[in-house]
Amino acid sequence: MLPSSPAERLSQVRARIAAAAVQSGRDPATVSLLAVSKTFPATAVAALAGFGQNAFGENYVQEAVAKISVLRADWPALQWHFIGPLQSNKTRDVAAHFDWVHGIDRLKLAQRLSEQRPPELPSLQVCLQVNVDAEASKSGLRPEEAGALAAAVAALPRLRLRGLMGIPAPRQGLVAQRVPFAQLRALRDAIAAEHGLALDTLSMGMSADLEAAVLEGATIVRVGSAIFGQRPPHRA
């Protein structure tokens, strides 16, 4: 059962992250919580911002831009992360409104975001999305493609490559859940070493598997339903 108020759910998720961090000998402050607010209204984001949550994840460009515009005046310091699949024709809005993009899986997308990033804004922080479960999901790069794309993206002027993101298929139990996260971490380490890149980010873990992700080195966990409750369906 979910606790009833968003504030209680937020502190419960923070406690889950902290417990997993401590269990793996990590400082809980090295794991950031991204609250995934897709399909929830700006008022729900503002309520959480009032409890000190400052990073939010969104999947749908138009919905997100509307929310960001509404919240900008009262909450100028919120950080916005685009975590959904991104079509090339929507990159301009993402480059103009977001701080991070987690789902880069082709060079064309990265080039457009770099070209379209407004000059007055800091570099756009990006992660490459790797499909660590080839059979289960279609989005993301194959692991063997990630090194070459990382090197190319790292060379783009208006992007800053931070690391890798993954969404493994659901698994039961901590032991099974840790396997794909460990693979993603090993891949990040290998790419960083081979290409001489400082990749400090592993964006992995959601409501159902965040402990496993933190145990395997997640630096950003993306949590929606455990904070906001069950999502209403998205209307395009």
Ligand X SMILES: *Cc1c(COP(=O)(O)O)cnc(C)c1O
Containing 149, the helix (H) or strand (E) segment is helix 146-154
Residue 208, judged by CB atoms within 10 A of its CB (0-12, 13-18, 19+), counts as middle
- Nearer to ligand X by Cβ, of 83 and 95: the residue is 83
Of 12, 2, 80, 13, the C-alpha closest to 223 is 13
Nearer Cβ to ligand X, position 81 or 117?
81
Min. distance of Cβ 120 from ligand X in angstroms?
A: 28
Closer to ligand X by Cβ: residue 158 or 221:
221
- Stretch of 8-16, 139-147, 191-199, 218-226 lying at the interface with ligand X (CB under 6 A): 218-226
Q: Is 207 in the site for ligand X (CB under 6 A)?
A: yes
Which residues, in sequence order, are bridge partners of residue 81?
57, 100
For the bound state, the minimum distance from the C-beta of residue 207 to ligand X, rounded and expressed in Å, comes to 3
Kindly state the number of chain residues that form the binding site for ligand X, as judged by CB under 6 A: 14
Check residue 16 for interaction with ligand X (CB under 6 A). no
- Tell me the closest approach of the beta carbon of residue 95 to ligand X, in angstroms: 19
Binding letters toward ligand X, positions 50-89, x by CB under 6 A? ---------x-----------------------xx-----
Per CB under 6 A, which region of 87-95, 106-114, 182-190, 223-231 contacts ligand X?
A: 223-231
Report the C-alpha gap between 129 and 131 in whole angstroms.
7
Using CB under 6 A, which residues numbered 125 to 184 contact ligand X? 167
44 binds ligand X (CB under 6 A): no
Contact call for residue 213 and ligand X (CB under 6 A): no
DSSP 81: E
Smallest Cα–Cα separation from 234: which of 62, 4, 33, 44? 62
Q: Which residues of 88-99 are buried (b: 16+ CB within 10 A; e: fewer)?
A: eebbbbbbebbb
Pairwise CA distance, residues 189 & 200, whole Å: 10
Strands (E), the chain: 32-36, 55-58, 79-82, 100-104, 124-129, 159-165, 201-203, 220-223
Q: How far is the CB of 155 from ligand X (least distance, A)?
A: 26
Residues that bind ligand X in the complex, under the rule CB under 6 A: 36, 38, 59, 83-84, 167, 206-208, 222-226
